[in-house]
Chain A
Amino acid sequence: MIWTPFLHAACLTLCAPPLQDAPGAEPQEPEAPKAEPAVTPAADLRLHAERVYTGTGEILKNALIEVRDGKISSLRPGRSAPEGVLQVKAITAGMIDLSARLHSNFNSVEQSTEVQPHLDVAGSVNLYDKRFARLARTGVTTILVNPLDRNVIGGRGVALKTHGPMEVEARRLKGRPILRGAIGSEPSAANHAAFGRPTDFYSRRPTTRMGVEWEWRKAFFDAVAATRLPEKDFPGAEDLREALAGKRTVMIQAWTTQDIRTAVYLDEEMQREGFGDLDLVIDAGAEAWKEPAMLVRNSTIVVLPPHTARGRVGSDGAFFAWNTASHLVEQGLTICLSAHGAGPGPATLGHQAGFAMRGGLSFDQALAAVTSAPAAVLGLSERLGVIAEGMDADLALWNGRPFAATSRVTGVVIDGAIVVDPR
């Protein structure tokens, strides 16, 4: 459980006499208990909404949310709004974008070799990038930052709140580790065959899809081989072995059906070889609708790219219809939606949910696809994705029914702090 600070606070206030002076008492944060009186302390923040969409299938009417220490401390429906309390039409959990792509472009991917499983993108994240604040304003409270997809295996991603301390390590969410890579044309886009004497490393990397696939397979085989031949060990081998052992999620960008197939076959090959079973997530899986059966078979989660008017997306021109989301959900797949960036433009993550609903997705399914489903991928379901007592106070405040074309996010709360005030 990650919400221990809240528990400490609650315990200490309830079980009253402060123990911190007693010898042998567990050292606690000394600030917490002192100031608070014996009665239930006033909340840091109180919000009232006509409707609270909890994300657990419930819609609470006229609900009062209380926030303490960055967590939701109480959630009570059927209340009238007390004096001075922030009132809005609707509240959902803060949205989560697994493919927000707020990396610092070419500085975010180490291209000197094509397989870099051990490098953490956190080192290149620029929290002063205005896109973080812009994204927060649209109700997206948590994102996954991955390296630019110029490598076969780009490295570890980092999950961050869109608002908070200005240092990456302080803001990093410790959930399930993510290993990011790509299959398709992008990892080979900058490379060329070596004519004569190679002058840089771009002349030795994969230049085709086949090469990209081969690099993936070789990386896993080498990592496994290194367990028996320690001299064959290489930086990142341990990360790959952890991925095979299912200890970290492997998120692969694959737009087209052939690339999605390659990713799934790679996973199945690892299983056949007895190397392990990848916990696979396909990012930007626009054409997942063409062969959903293999994804169902492999229980792969699909992150969909943003909808476009023409239906063509990505550098390979993958075909992505507006009913893709609903079609995949009907097949029993778990999907997440993403917006690929922070504008400019109207296609925020909230809009993506609305577009998917126009393609047939139900409200609850759409809400899950931008909140609880991505939270689960990040291994943060116990903190994020739904509105319940003890969860992080990450909230999107709406001026109408969420995802409706006439509604928009007017306020945002992250970790109990009002980031955008609707007043």
Chain B
Amino acid sequence: MRTQRSMHTKALLLASLAFVASTPASATSGEGDALAIRAEKLHVGDGTVIENGIVVFEAGVITEVGKAAPVPKGMVLIEHAGHLSAGLIALREHAGAVGESNDTTRAVMDEADLAFAYRPNHSEVQGLLEEGITTFVLAPRPGSLVGGLCAVAKTGSEVISRRAYLSICTGANGLTSNRFPTSLQGSQAELERRFSWPRGVFARAVKGELPVMLDGGSSRTEVQHAISFARRHGLKGILVGSTRLGEMAAKIRAAGLGVAISNYTPSTGRRVVEGALALSEMQVPFGFALGSPNGHPANLRLTAAACIRAGLKPSDALRSLTSTAAQLAGVADKVGSVQVGLAADLVLWSGEPTDPGSRVMAVYVDGDEVFRAEDDENGDDQ
């Protein structure tokens, strides 16, 4: 990506309004560029949109946001004829950890740390960037009762939280036929045992210090079990893995849980979409799950778009893709909005971020430009 650096800089020179001597090319890699970007529409992440908003960032952190944010002398201001939003967040993803993200030899892997499975240079991670996804929750793949501790990773960069969730499968997804447990009641008995006399991570989960990612399984009964399990032990966190969560919106709200919406597919699509609308109506906080490698990263925005098509407000969908997801993953103080003090994880779009017809023109992570569309009109001499 760094090879595009110089070309991009030239583009900046052509497009910039306030250009002074020091070029961003001099900024050292890793610390991030000192840059200002003005976008026709700047989506802050809390639902507000600033027309012709400016975001200024330095050393990877946003320093100014606003319509008339002061641009320091000597800083390049990029004019973006399009939209700008915070980088998108996928709430359940396995990119860069294929085959390494779950260990099926034991049912309970309570101390397994997914951060150790993360490979930032994996091609799948690059694929996420191209879709504007800058942060994701690296979760174990289903198959264990307790899969381990989910990490929150920056795309192509470092892990920013090693204890986002304790991953638990309360339903049939945690069962295998040749090791304990093979049955739902066996799985429930084991989880009850672990959470009734909690130690280690379980104790922290019960105290509410460590959120859980509950994969309830697909059937309504399994989801019911997951919700009542969470209520019984006072667990906080999110439900994942079922297309039927929307049908339980009231119960999920009563339990104070959030939801990671499963991917839209032609076969499960209607349930996913109707579920998202039901959750939205009940004001249950939700984000979107992804699930590479079997799910294409484009599914994240496609699922949101399918929900919008069915009636979800685009601003709510964008919140779910950014700030709400950051809150659910416990990293809202670092990413998820275009706000002063947060990481400069930004996406420049050709149009509305929630329209899959909008293109990702450029992606910044920690202030570094990590992706730019190949045939971006701003880029010359390609």
Contacts and interface: CB of A to CB of B under 8 A. Distances in A.
A and B touch in the complex (CB under 8 A): yes
Interface in A32-78: none
A110 B225 contact: no
Which of B178, B185, B189, B224 has the most chain A CB within a 10 Å cutoff?
A: B185
B220 A104 contact: no
Interface residues of B, number: 21
Contacts of B224: 166-167
B4 interface: no
Contact of A124 (B178, B183, B220): B183
Interface of B: 172, 175, 177-189, 219-221, 224-225, 228
A199 B189 CA distance: 24
B180 A112 contact: yes
Nearest to B178: A200
Contacts of A112: 179-182, 186
A390 interface: no
Contacts of A292: none
A202 B183 contact: no
Nearest to A123: B185
Contacts of A125: 221
Given A119-B189, A123-B188, A111 B221 contact: no
Given A125-B221, A128-B219, A106 B177 contact: yes
A306 interface: no
A169 to B, nearest CB: 9
Nearest to B192: A123
A106 B178 CA distance: 12
Interface of B is mostly: helix
B175 A107 contact: yes
Contacts of A106: 177, 182-183
Interface residues of A, number: 28
Interface of A: 104, 106-112, 116, 118-128, 147, 155, 166-167, 199-202
18 contacts: A107-B172, A107-B183, A110-B182, A110-B186, A110-B189, A112-B179, A112-B181, A116-B186, A120-B185, A122-B185, A123-B184, A125-B221, A126-B219, A147-B183, A155-B185, A167-B228, A200-B179, A201-B180
A69 B292 CA distance: 53
Given A104-B184, A107-B184, A110-B182, 14 more contacts: A108-B185, A110-B183, A110-B189, A111-B182, A112-B180, A112-B186, A119-B189, A121-B185, A123-B187, A123-B225, A124-B185, A128-B221, A167-B224, A201-B180
Given A119-B189, A201-B178, A202-B178, A108 B183 contact: yes
A303 B212 CA distance: 45
A228 to B, nearest CB: 26
Contacts of A147: 183, 185
Contacts of A108: 183-185
Contacts of B187: 123
A127 B220 CA distance: 9
A119 B175 CA distance: 16
Question: What secondary structure prevails in chain A residues at the interface with B?
Answer: loop
A403 B221 CA distance: 34
Contacts of B220: 128, 166
- 3 smallest CB-CB distances across A and B, nearest first, come from A110-B186, A123-B185, A112-B180
Contacts of A123: 183-185, 187-189, 225
Contacts of B182: 106-107, 109-112
A103 to B, nearest CB: 10
Given A201-B178, A202-B178, A110 B221 contact: no
B183 A109 contact: yes
B228 to A, nearest CB: 8
Given A107-B172, A119-B189, A167-B224, A124 B179 contact: no
B368 to A, nearest CB: 48
A159 to B, nearest CB: 16
A127 B221 contact: yes
A384 to B, nearest CB: 24
Which of A124, A125, A155 has the most CB atoms of chain B within a 10 A radius of its CB? A124
Contacts of B228: 167
Given A107-B172, A200-B178, A119 B221 contact: no
B21 to A, nearest CB: 69
A201 B179 CA distance: 7
B178 A119 contact: no
Given A112-B179, A200-B178, A119 B186 contact: yes
Contacts of A110: 180-183, 185-186, 189
A108 B181 CA distance: 11
B205 to A, nearest CB: 20
Contacts of A104: 184
Nearest to A190: B177
Contacts of B189: 110, 118-119, 123
Contacts of B185: 108, 110, 119-124, 147, 155
B193 to A, nearest CB: 9
A126 B178 CA distance: 23
B106 to A, nearest CB: 12
Identify which of A121, A123, A126, A202 gathers the most chain B CB atoms within 10 Å of its CB.
Answer: A123
A125 B228 CA distance: 15
Contacts of A116: 186
Contacts of B183: 106-111, 119, 123-124, 147
A119 B182 CA distance: 12
A403 B48 CA distance: 69
Contacts of A200: 178-179
Nearest to A110: B186
Nearest to B188: A123
Contacts of A119: 183, 185-186, 189
B184 A124 contact: yes
A417 to B, nearest CB: 21
A167 B219 CA distance: 13
Contacts of A122: 185
A124 B175 CA distance: 12
B39 to A, nearest CB: 48
A202 B189 CA distance: 21
A127 B187 CA distance: 18
Nearest to A118: B189
Nearest to B185: A123
Most A-side CB within 10 Å, residue of B172, B175, B180, B186: B186
B186 A126 contact: no
B177 A126 contact: no
A66 B180 CA distance: 51
Nearest to B193: A235
B266 to A, nearest CB: 23
B224 to A, nearest CB: 6
